[in-house]
A and B are shown apart, each in its own frame.
Chain A
C-alpha cells in the first residue's frame, strides 16, 4: 500500500513536470508582441500641419537629400518657434531659386553671394540675414585645393591639370576664373580640363577620388575632411557669407518672425549648440542682419 502510494506520488510529480514543460514550451514559442519604437513622431507631424505654410527655397549648391538633411532642421526650428509651418522648396539650379522668389512661390530663399548680387541687380531682392562663421563673424572664404599626394602647391602649378568647379553661378567658380586666374596670368586653355559640377560635394568627391587634380569649394566644407588627404593651395579674400534673401515686397509679418527667430541664434545663446546640432554646418554659429553693401566685394569680382 505504501509502495503504491510512493509510486503514485513519483508518477504525479513526473506528470506535473511534463505538463508544466509542455505548457511552458507552447508559451515560450508564442512570441506575439508589439514593440513601439518611436511613438512621438506621428503626433508632432499632425500638430504642425495646422499652421499656415511658408515655403523657403534653397539654391542647389548641394544634392537635394543633403539639403533636406541640413536645412529641414532649420525650418523645423522655425516652425516650432513661430506661428508658421516652414517647408523647403528645392530648385534644380541656382536661378530657379531666384525665380521662385520673384514669382512668390516662396517667401525667402537661401542664395549664394554671387547669385544674390545678380538677383539684386535684376530683380531688386534684398538680403535679410547672413550666417556667422566659427569665429562668429559673417565672412567665409573659397579655397583652391588638391589631394595632398599630388604635386600641386600653388596656383602656378595648375597648368595641364584637371580642374573641378561648382556651378558657374557660384562665387567660388567666378572667384577663381574671373579674379585669381587673371591676377596670376593663367588662362583657362592652359589647363587640361575644366568642369563645372552642380554641387560642391561633387567637386570635393571628384578631387578626393583622383578624377580631378584640383577643385574649388567653400572653406567650411573642406574643414569637414580631417584625414589630411586634402591640401589647401589658395584662400580667397574674406567675403560676406551667403544671405537669406526676400523679394522687395516681402510679407513683413512672416519675415519678421523668421528674422527674429534666427537672430536669437548667436554666440550668446546658451542653447545654440543643442539647437543647431543637426543644421547645415554653414549655419550652426547663428546669424546677423545683412545689408546689400556687404556684398560689394562680390560685385567687384562679378564684373
Chain B
C-alpha cells in the first residue's frame, strides 16, 4: 500500500504540479509582456503627446522668427527652460533647424539645467518621427522622442527630447513581483487542494485494500465498505460483486472437491474389495464348516456349544471387517477436529492389513510419541494415508517392505513418512505425479486423482507433501502438517 501511495499520490501531485507551475509561468509571462507593452505604449504615447505639444510652440517661434516678428533664441530658450522645469522628467532637449544644425540644447540633471554638456552622443538630427528607448551611459534608461517640425509639407526643424524611463522599469519590476507572488500563491493553493483531494481519494482506496486483505477465501467474511456515489463507490460495488462471485465459486469448488474425494475414496474401496472379501470369506467358510458338523451330529451338545462359539467368533470377525469398511466408505460431513494422526494411521493399516499379507509385504510402524495434535478432518487424513499406502502396495510386486514413521518436526509441525522399496518413480514422472488424472497404472486400476486429492487436502490444511524416489530402489513421501495450538476435541 505504501508503494501504491507513492506511485499514485506523489506522481499525480508531481505531474499536475509541474503542469500547473508551467501554465502559471506561461500565463504570468504573457501577462507581464502584455502589461509591459501597455506600459511602454502608454509612456511612448505620453512622450509623443508632450513632444507634439512642444513642437507647436517651437514651430510658432520659428515662424515668428522667419517673419521677423521675434528673435527665436529668446523665445525658445525661455520656453525650453520652462518646459524642462514644469515636466520634471525631461533629461535633455535638443532643437535642430531644418538643415539639421543644432540651434539649442539643454541637459537636466540633479535639478540643474546645463547647456554646456558633451552633446556628441546625441547627434545627429533625427530623420524620422520616432520613439527610442535605450539605456544611456549618463542618464540611465531614456525614452527619446524624435520629432520633425512639420507644418503641412514644410519642415521647420526637428528635436530630440529625452524623458526619464526609470519609472517604467520600476513599474514593470513591481508588476513582475506582483505576478510572481500571485503565481506562487495560486500554485500553492491549487497544489494544496490537489493534495487534499488525492489524499481523500487514496484513503478510500486504502480502505478498499484493507478490506481485500481481510478476505481469506475460506471463511464467509462479509465486506463492509461505506456507500459512495463516486468512482470509488463504483469500485466498492464491483468489488463486493466480485467477492460474491468468488464465494459462489469457492462453494462450488468445495463441492467438486468433496465429490472428487468421495470418488477417490470409493475407488480405494474397490481396490480393497478383494482383500475384504477374503477376510469375510474365511470366517464364512468356518461358519459353514461348523454348521455342517452341527447338522451332521445334531445331538452332540458339546459340539454345538463349541461350534456356536466359533460361529459367533466368525460373525464377530465379519462384523468387524464390515464395520471398518463402512467406516471408511461412509460419506461424512466435513468437520474439522483436532486429531492424533497415529490413531488414524493405525486404523487405515488395520483395514489394509490383509491385502499387504497377500503380497507378503511387511509393514512396520514407527510412530512417534507425544505427537502434536493436528486440526484436520479425520476421514480426509485417512484418505491421504490410504492413497499413499495403496500407491506403495501397487509399487511392490511381492515381498516388499513399507515403513510408516511419524514424529514432531518441531514444536510447530508433525510429519508422517511412508517409505517403500517398490518400483519407484522416474525423475521425469516425479514432476507430474500431483497433476490430476495423471497415472502410470493400467486402465481401471487407478483414477489418476489420488495424489492430486492428497495434495489438495494437505495444502488446504496448511501442510505440504514432499516426495523422493529412486527408481527400483525406494519411494519416500513425507507429509508435514501444522500443529494446532489450541487443542479442542479429539476426533476419532
Contacts and interface: CB of A to CB of B under 8 A. Distances in A.
B59 A65 contact: yes
Interface in B236-285: none
Interface string A268-279: 000000000010
A50 to B, nearest CB: 14
B165 A44 contact: no
Interface string B296-340: 000000000000000000000000000000000000000000000
Contact of A41 (B10, B67, B128, B168): B128
B176 A64 contact: no
A21 B66 contact: no
A293 interface: no
A207 B197 CA distance: 81
B153 A45 contact: yes
- Decide if the interface of chain B is mainly helix, strand, loop or mixed: helix
Interface string A77-106: 001100000010011100000000000000
B48 interface: yes
B190 interface: no
Contacts of A69: 151-152
A84 to B, nearest CB: 13
Contacts of A278: 152
Nearest first, the 6 A-B pairs at minimum CB distance are: A76-B153, A90-B67, A64-B67, A37-B129, A72-B152, A38-B129
A64 B66 contact: yes
A25 B179 CA distance: 11
Interface stretch (B29-37, B212-220, B402-410): B29-37
10 contacts: A13-B21, A25-B176, A28-B172, A29-B169, A35-B132, A36-B129, A42-B148, A68-B63, A72-B152, A90-B63
B141 interface: yes
Interface size class, chain A: 35 or more
A72 B153 CA distance: 8
B469 to A, nearest CB: 46
A65 B150 contact: no
A10 interface: yes
Contacts of A41: 128-129, 148, 150, 155
Contacts, number: 116
- Decide if the interface of chain A is mainly helix, strand, loop or mixed: helix
Given A6-B10, A64-B64, A64-B66, A32 B131 contact: no
Given A6-B10, A41-B148, A31 B153 contact: no
Interface of A: 2, 6, 9-10, 13, 17, 20-21, 24-25, 28-29, 31-39, 41-42, 44-45, 48, 60, 64-65, 68-69, 72-73, 75-76, 79-80, 87, 90-92, 278
B69 A92 contact: yes
Nearest to B132: A34
Nearest to A32: B134
A44 B153 contact: yes
A48 B153 contact: yes
Interface string B135-167: 100000100000010111111000000000100
Given A6-B10, A24-B29, A65 B128 contact: no
A2 B6 contact: yes
A32 B381 CA distance: 95
